[in-house]
Amino acid sequence: MARKRSSIDLGAVQGDEGMSVNGRDEAIYRNLFAAIVENHLEPGTKLPEDTLAEAFAVSRTSIRKVLQRLAYERLVDIRLNRGATVAQPTVKEARDVFAARRIVECGVVAQVVAKATPARLDELRAIVRREHEAEARGDRREAIYLSGEFHVALSRLSENEAISEILAGLVSRSSLVIATFGSPMAGSCRHSEHDDVLDLIAAGDVEATRAWMERHLREVERSVVLVEEAPSAPDLRRILDEVAERHRRSH
Amino acid sequence: MARKRSSIDLGAVQGDEGMSVNGRDEAIYRNLFAAIVENHLEPGTKLPEDTLAEAFAVSRTSIRKVLQRLAYERLVDIRLNRGATVAQPTVKEARDVFAARRIVECGVVAQVVAKATPARLDELRAIVRREHEAEARGDRREAIYLSGEFHVALSRLSENEAISEILAGLVSRSSLVIATFGSPMAGSCRHSEHDDVLDLIAAGDVEATRAWMERHLREVERSVVLVEEAPSAPDLRRILDEVAERHRRSH
DNA sequence: TAGAATTAATTTGTACACAAAACAATAATT
DNA sequence: AATTATTGTTTTGTGTACAAATTAATTCTA
């Protein structure tokens, strides 16, 4: 029975700061954003405007705006007259994103340590606790999400909004990279070491914190990117072409 | 005579990479972008959709997309039901942007030095030469533009696209900051020291290059932000309110 | 039967129309 | 006269319609 599915419930929107943002578009954005970075939508998945419009019970107009924004954030890919797909980062892009994170996160350490207070550090410890809980019950998605949240929350201690927004963008792209290249147990598998850095910050040791961050990010990258490219739909075509080419030569 | 003005000529678009971008929207975007960062449009200026649509001879649909993008880049401000205005960075935002630039530009120095070649450095020298020419003939706008271009081009030596895109965003925001707070002779007045850093890079001295960059960016910031807030339209209202409050108390 | 060409379908791009909100101007009230 | 109500105008938000392009399905041809 091909019953018409009912629309997705968007619920109430919290972060409607002032009056500057449209609540409904923001809710749609968050839904799609979460679906992508939490890997509910596989990289390469087509995102037709009509389908989304019906799913969220709005017209294509709103959907288009949201897709444009996600494209700007490099989470979806929009090609002229071809519509939007969930972005498929290349290996180079993955490396660039992690290198960028090293620059940004190590660079902000000094300000983070300078402005950290016991109260703010406790908020971070709460995130780490939730991380451990998620890992304990094998909730990998939540663990990856919280791992990202930790890094962004850490950067927010610097009270530099420009930087923490930039980092938030890099972190969400990292999630997409993990979804694209990550081996099943990558990303947050080895018990999160996030506890350690909080002690270094509390001790006010800038250089040790920076060193920890550098090492930590290199390990995360190593556990993810080295798996190289998984052959999904569009690549399949290229591989078939390569096979055909090899066959032709062997004659 | 209120003759209907003809539309703005958008010319041909060069950077239409592959087939992924829409040429006309891109051209409109570049026009508005340039108008804002080159300070042809004062911060706070209203940007009504109808006016822009008529000016560029397209419907509001296209204009809206462009404005959304500029809003995402923090060059325009969109408030619900109130339309778009050229963004007016706050002092805090200005400081954050410059702090972010220090982090990004100093952080990328190692890769820049590692990947710099004589040929690429010559391209940068060409930019510096044009900078000097612009200064010599008193073309302040062009000088500011080229100063920004230099920083972005420098970061591109790292061959990390994620980083150079981030920096490009920060540099354009800097231009807006200069437009908002800059004293008439700020930004690029003192003869540009950009020559010096190229020699340090050519010599392969990472630490000296980093130190130069740190000092350079602090000087640029100092020459701009310290002028503090100029009381433009929205602030005027607040000031009047404050005066009224003071008056009420004195009774 | 494989491949090319044609036709039909889906899907995107853009303009336009109408409703709702904000803004401006005028009238009413104290 | 100053403040509040009301009315009219402008501007934005959102849905819809239609053209253009892409994708698919079908027919034709070698």
Give pLDDT, residue B190.
63
Q: Residues spanned by CATH 1.20.120.530 within chain B?
A: 91-225
Verify if strand D has an atom below 7 Å from the CB of B50: yes
Query: At residue A194, does pLDDT exceed 70?
Result: yes
Verify if strand C has an atom below 7 Å from the CB of A48: yes
pLDDT in tens, A82-127: 999 999 999 999 999 999 999 999 999 999 999 999 999 999 999 9
Query: At residue B18, does pLDDT exceed 80?
Result: no
Q: What letter would DSSP give residue A90? A: -
Query: At residue A1, does pLDDT exceed 80?
Result: no
Give pLDDT, residue A225.
73
Shortest Cα distance from A9 to chain B (angstroms)? 23
Closest Cβ–Cβ partner in B81, B100, B163 for A100: B163
Give pLDDT, residue B1.
39
The answer regarding whether domain B23-86 maps to CATH 3.40.50.11890 reads: no
Nearest residue in A to B25, CA atom: A80
Give pLDDT, residue B128.
95
Q: What is the mean pLDDT of residues B189-195?
A: 75
Q: Which band of pLDDT confidence, cut at 50, 70 and 90, is reported for residue A201?
A: very high
Residues in B whose CB is inside 8 Å of some CB of A read 19-22, 65, 68-69, 72, 77-81, 93, 96-97, 99-100, 102-104, 106-108, 111, 160-163, 166, 170, 173
pLDDT in tens, B134-169: 988 988 888 889 999 999 999 999 999 999 999 999
> Which residues pair with residue A76 across a beta bridge?
A86
Nearest residue in B to A83, CA atom: B20
Q: What share of chain B is helix, strand, coil (3-state, %, to 5)?
A: 65, 5, 30
Give pLDDT, residue B153.
98
Furthest C-alpha separation in chain A: 72
Give pLDDT, residue B22.
76
Give pLDDT, residue B185.
59
* Record: contact B170-A162, CB cut-off 8 A: yes
Nucleotide with smallest C1' distance to residue B80 CA = D12
Q: CA B84 – C1' C26 distance (Å)?
A: 28
Give pLDDT, residue A62.
96
Both tokens of residue B201? 């890079």
Pairwise pLDDT comparison (B227 vs B199), residue with the higher score: B199
pLDDT in tens, B30-49: 999 999 998 889 999 999 99
Of A123, A107, A50, A130, residue with least CA distance to A83: A50
Mean pLDDT score of chain A = 85
Q: Residues spanned by CATH 1.10.10.10 within chain B?
A: 23-86
CA–CA separation, A225 vs A231, rounded Å?
14
Give pLDDT, residue A7.
65
Mean pLDDT score of chain B = 85
pTM for the predicted model, two decimal places: 0.87
Shortest Cα distance from A173 to chain B (angstroms)? 10
Nucleotide with smallest C1' distance to residue A59 CA = D15
Nearest residue in A to B98, CA atom: A162
Give pLDDT, residue B248.
42
Give pLDDT, residue B3.
42
Pairwise pLDDT comparison (A212 vs B7), residue with the higher score: A212
CATH number of B91-225: 1.20.120.530
Q: Which band of pLDDT confidence, cut at 50, 70 and 90, is reported for residue A184?
A: low
- Which of A7-11, B160-164, B198-202 is predicted least confidently? A7-11
Q: Which band of pLDDT confidence, cut at 50, 70 and 90, is reported for residue B9?
A: low
Nucleotide with smallest C1' distance to residue A80 CA = C12
Query: At residue A242, does pLDDT exceed 80?
Result: no
Q: What is the mean pLDDT of residues A211-239?
A: 71
Give pLDDT, residue B229.
53
Query: At residue A249, does pLDDT exceed 50?
Result: no
